Amino acid sequence: MSAAENTAASAPEKDPIVEGSLLWPIFISMLVLLVVSGWSLYDEFYTRRPYKNYQNDWVDLARRAYQGKMADAQSAYDLVANSPEYLALRAAWVTARDEAAGPYAKLQDQLNKEVAPRLAVLGAAVKGSRSEVAALTYRLELAREHKNGNDERYYAAALGEVKDVEHVLEFPGDETVTWKFKQMLGEFNRLKALQGRIQGRMAEVKTEESRTRNAMNEHMDAHIVGPKPDAVAALIDGVDNFEHDIKQIHIKYEDGELIERCESCHLGIRSPVALSLPEVLGRKEFVSHPNQELLDIHDPEVMGCSPCHGGNGVATASVWQAHGRYKYWLWPLHYPANTEAGCVQCHEQDLHLDHATVINDGRQLFQWRGCVGCHRHGQFIGEEDEAKTLTNRRDAATTSIEATQIDIASLVALTKSENVEDSAIEAAFTRIEKQNQNLYLLQTEEEMLDAQLASLELEIKKVGPNLKEVAAKLKPEWVQPWLANPRHFRPSTKMPKFRFGNNEIDHDENSWNVAAFLWQASAPVKFPDSPADGDAEKGEWLITVRGCLGCHSVTTEEYGEGLGSTFASDLSRMGEKANYAYLVSWLKSPRDHNQYTIMPSLRLSDEDARDIASFLVSGTDEDAKYLSSEKALNELQDPARAKLGKAIVKHLGCAGCHEIKGLEKEDRVGTELTKEGSKPIERLDFGTLTHAYYGKKTYKHKWFFEDKLRDPKIWDTDKERPDYFTRLKMPEFFPPVEPRPDFPEGRARWASEIKAKIAAIDEDADDYDAQRAILEKPLQVYKDIDALTTFLLGSVAAELPPSLKYEPTGLKKDIQEGWWVIKKYNCEGCHQILPGGSPSIWQMPIYEDGEGFEGVPDKNGRPPTLVGQGTRTSPDWLMKFLDNPALTDNLADMHRNGVRQGLAARMPTFFFSERERGKIVRFFTAMANLSRDYQRPKVLPLTGADLELGRAAFTAGDCANCHLLGGEAKINPSTTYAPSFQPVAERIKPAWIHRWVTEPNSVIPKTAMPAILTKEMDDAGNIKRWVISLDEVNATARKRVGPEMMKRLADYTGDHADLLVRYFAYWNETEAEHQTEKRKIQ
């Protein structure tokens, strides 16, 4: 080894800490630590906790908004506070306060001087001693229970010692006493009793002050517009003390739980004071809920937010995630136009919901437009499923009957056999007896099920008309043009336009094929006689006033186009379409042609049916062009066409909406839509447009539904499908419209631009209506598309606790079920069902003041309101009335109303099933919040002198001036439009009669019924009784009553309203005859 190597080997190793430098490693580590710390803070406050920025902004904006409301709140408060009514209430309060001040102060002084100081001295001593006594008494009783003599003696002695301890008490006024427990307790109890009496008297003294203060506050609450200043001040204080943190709702149910954090950002949603978008400077997340009443019903502390609105309620990392608008979340936040989609999953069986106009429209369109004809949906097939269940049960009963009958026959044969032992024969007879009993029960069950099925079949209605009588009903030249393009003939029709081919030539050719099949499949119809022509002018009057236009619309010479309702078909241009003889027969008795029709019978006379039919067939478009009947018949009667047409009819599913001979058992041809809103997006076929929709961020259920409804063939774009039967078959339900912007902001601008153009139209222009209709068309089309889309988006497999679903019982269930019947038969077309409602027929100009037809007394000739119907009519009577609105089986009297015989509008016979009638009756009972179990109260009948007074009160009120008495041969509809008294005793509830004759305007606002009674008050300001205003009785009525009875009425000390109630409760033919005789006196 060399010297150098020895030196190197012996040299000490360098210490890296002493010899080296750690500056760079430490520096780099510090930089990394700083970066990580900075990122952590950024991540905490900006990435993972963005809600904190929202909360900071909320504090500033909310304070500003609430402070801005303070001046308005104070002004509103001052306006009420300075009103004469409030000042009078305040003066009464001040008077009561001042009157109470002296006595109250005296009592308070007595309490402070005589009671409170002594109780303060006694309190601690009594409390301690009483506790010791109670504890020792318990132990003493326990010792006695266990028969422990030593313990009993010990605790008895200890208890005596405690009670004998002397306490020195120093009361105010230099009073010093030495008392044992008994003395202290006695004084303590005396003072407490005195304290109670004094406080009771203090409350009595303050009674009037409290009453007047409450009256003053109630007046303020009832009349102030907006919040009170102190409420706004409390909100400002709440904002100033706002806590920045996650606002979480954790709801635990018996069948699940829900966690929501939406209000971490949506901080104004439950603001008791409304916050509008401008007030929070355009920050949508800070506005208050737009419908406070709806929010009260759906308390977020019970319901959360996302069950209604969608979205991911627990996400707080980003708006995108919180709103659930990403690939892996199946329930994204609904867009504003579709907010009500969330109603569907909890309200599956509700056809009508308060505060849910869009979803109500969507459901009704789904049914009215005929979507239910092709698409099964769980909410619209209850009757069908019930029918299937009943059919299965009936078939099972039939099978059991057949088996039982075979068994009985074999047993009977056994009893006749000669080679059978007596015991076996005896057993056979025993079994025969048993099987005969079983057979009786099975046959009874079968009969019951047959009856239920027959009733249920009456309830199941097709969307479209019966096509089994096409050849008898329609003109041959009209059928093919109608099928080719229904809207060309009838722009308002709900019949969609089908695509019968891949091009116009094929479309026209195949529409002839379909027409030929329907024509040849129709059944022959024989008419008894060829009907004579009617009076078309009278027919115009009849169709206008009878009530037809509660469902239909028509063009009349008097009022022009579009008069009436769009629930059923437009009856204009019927002369181009319908055969006169068939139309007469149909109007006379629709059920002779289709027993399942929803069209009721108006119980028209033969003459009326001919008049209306004559008017209808007079309506034509002179410019319309058709083939000749002969050429059309040649095409329609071609068997080859019919064969091709049948295949197309089956392919398109026409039998889903129409009764077609030979296709009664055809199933629906469309996709089931019960849970379509939660179907995985990949299962919705966007076709070749998938990437385009994905690129513009519309690859969602919403746009799939919207665009398919707007253009049903859109998803066939660029697909190679030459075979007609492989292409999409959904028809066009809406007229063609241009696409609108995809997202809410653009759509709002688009709608505003159209409305601005409408507003700019010259109202004096000859084509004003035409211009307006063109501009309004896309708005109406997209309104309907939004409603249907909302319904489909809400049709989901709900991932909610079942207990959140609305499954009402009792009265609420009756309302839920009743709406289905009310909507099915369009009761709202003629009648007001809800307060403020305006039925289609009420809006007709004939019911406007001064515009009435002959025999139509303006608004008094309208069909009656049904608001409060449950309070008015007896349920049993209503059941009978709905079955027979004429209230008679006499054919001569069938052509009129049973109640309002003078009313031109006629209550039709709907042929409700018994179950439907029951649902309607229970609906009105429930709407009035009354019990199902109505028992008519016993009313004391009028006899002798009281009966004479009741008759006189009726005559004095001149009731028969507007009401019929019953049995009239001639009726003046201009005056006697009110209900007949003939069924009043059975029809009307006595309590309602009292309310009606005393305060008619509180029952039906602006009613023609005069208030003929006035209040007589007692000294306390309460109603003592109601009396007829005898000074206001007209001269003719006075003459009919007679001076003696007028005096007796004036001297009668009882209640005149009760007198009338008792009189009506026993109305009969005798009373009708009596009042008829009185009417002869002029």
Q: Looking at residue 878, which CATH number applies to its domain?
A: 1.10.760
- Residues of the chain with pLDDT > 70, as a percent, come to 97
What is the structure's pLDDT at 15?
Answer: 64
Q: Both 219 and 110 in a single domain?
A: yes
pLDDT band at 798 (very low <50, low <70, confident <90, very high): confident
pLDDT band at 46 (very low <50, low <70, confident <90, very high): low
How wide is the angle at C-alpha 979 spanned by C-alphas 977 and 983, nearest 5°?
150
pTM of the predicted model, to two decimals? 0.85
How large is the average pLDDT for residues 229-249?
Answer: 94
Q: Both 400 and 424 in a single domain?
A: yes
Is residue 359, in this structure, part of any structural domain at all? no
How large is the average pLDDT for residues 23-40?
Answer: 84
Helix (H), strand (E) counts: the chain: 42, 8
Compute the chain's Rg from CA coordinates.
42
| pLDDT surpasses 60 at 772 | yes
Q: Both 883 and 949 in a single domain?
A: no
Beta bridge partners of 554: 563
What is the structure's pLDDT at 902?
Answer: 85
Beta bridge partners of 497: 732
What is the structure's pLDDT at 755?
Answer: 95
What is the structure's pLDDT at 53?
Answer: 87
Q: Both 638 and 684 in a single domain?
A: no
Is residue 22, in this structure, part of any structural domain at all? no
pLDDT band at 850 (very low <50, low <70, confident <90, very high): low
What digits encode the pLDDT tens for the residues 375-427? 999 999 888 889 999 999 999 999 999 999 999 999 999 888 888 888 888 99
What digits encode the pLDDT tens for the residues 519-544? 999 999 988 778 999 999 999 999 99
Which position has the token pair 């649902």?
919
What is the structure's pLDDT at 280?
Answer: 95
Is residue 9, in this structure, part of any structural domain at all? no
> Residue 974 belongs to what domain range?
937-1082
Report how far residue 581's alpha carbon sits from residue 610's, in angstroms, rounded to the nearest whole number.
9
pLDDT band at 48 (very low <50, low <70, confident <90, very high): low
Report how far residue 522's alpha carbon sits from residue 665's, in angstroms, rounded to the nearest whole number.
17
Nearest partner of 558 among 848, 777, 768, judged by Cα? 848
What is the structure's pLDDT at 429?
Answer: 92
What is the structure's pLDDT at 925?
Answer: 96
Report how far residue 743's alpha carbon sits from residue 477's, in angstroms, rounded to the nearest whole number.
46
What digits encode the pLDDT tens for the residues 120-160? 999 888 999 999 999 999 999 999 988 888 989 999 999 99
Q: Are 515 and 525 in contact (CB under 8 A)?
A: no
Q: Are 543 and 555 in contact (CB under 8 A)?
A: no
Q: Which amino acid is at 956?
A: A
How large is the average pLDDT for residues 102-117?
Answer: 93
Report how far residue 950's alpha carbon sits from residue 1062's, in angstroms, rounded to the nearest whole number.
8
What digits encode the pLDDT tens for the residues 150-204? 989 999 999 999 999 999 999 988 889 999 999 999 999 999 999 999 999 999 9
Q: Both 409 and 428 in a single domain?
A: yes
Alpha helices in 551-710 (DSSP H): 580-588, 606-617, 629-636, 639-652, 690-695, 701-710
Q: Which of 234, 266, 298 is the last residue of a domain?
A: 234
Q: Are 550 and 565 in contact (CB under 8 A)?
A: yes
What digits encode the pLDDT tens for the residues 251-286? 988 888 889 999 999 999 999 999 999 999 999 999
Nearest partner of 78 among 229, 207, 198, judged by Cα? 229
pLDDT band at 559 (very low <50, low <70, confident <90, very high): confident
Is residue 365, in this structure, part of any structural domain at all? no
Is residue 1077, in this structure, part of any structural domain at all? yes
How large is the average pLDDT for residues 600-618?
Answer: 96
Q: Are 562 and 588 in contact (CB under 8 A)?
A: no
Q: Which of 883, 909, 935 is the last residue of a domain?
A: 935
Q: How many domains does the chain have?
A: 6
What digits encode the pLDDT tens for the residues 909-967? 999 999 999 999 999 999 999 998 899 999 999 999 999 999 999 999 999 988 999 87
CB proximity list for 762: less than 8 A, separation 6 or greater: 768
Q: Is 18 exposed, middle or buried (0-12, 13-18, 19+ CB in 10 A)?
A: exposed
Q: Both 800 and 817 in a single domain?
A: no
Q: Both 101 and 223 in a single domain?
A: yes
Is residue 353, in this structure, part of any structural domain at all? no
Is residue 956, in this structure, part of any structural domain at all? yes
How large is the average pLDDT for residues 663-691?
Answer: 94
Q: Both 1059 and 1039 in a single domain?
A: yes
What is the structure's pLDDT at 47?
Answer: 57
Q: Both 620 and 702 in a single domain?
A: no
What digits encode the pLDDT tens for the residues 638-663? 999 999 999 999 999 999 999 999 99
What is the structure's pLDDT at 400?
Answer: 95
What is the structure's pLDDT at 2?
Answer: 56
pLDDT band at 36 (very low <50, low <70, confident <90, very high): confident
Q: Both 821 and 930 in a single domain?
A: yes
How large is the average pLDDT for residues 50-65?
Answer: 92
| pLDDT surpasses 80 at 849 | no
| HSE of 524, CA atoms in CB hemisphere, 13 A | 1
Q: Both 643 and 585 in a single domain?
A: yes
What is the structure's pLDDT at 18?
Answer: 62
Q: Is 164 exposed, middle or buried (0-12, 13-18, 19+ CB in 10 A)?
A: exposed
Is residue 305, in this structure, part of any structural domain at all? no
What digits encode the pLDDT tens for the residues 724-763? 999 999 999 999 999 999 999 999 999 999 999 999 999 9
- Average pLDDT of the chain is 91
Q: Both 893 and 955 in a single domain?
A: no
Q: Which of 882, 906, 935 is the last residue of a domain?
A: 935
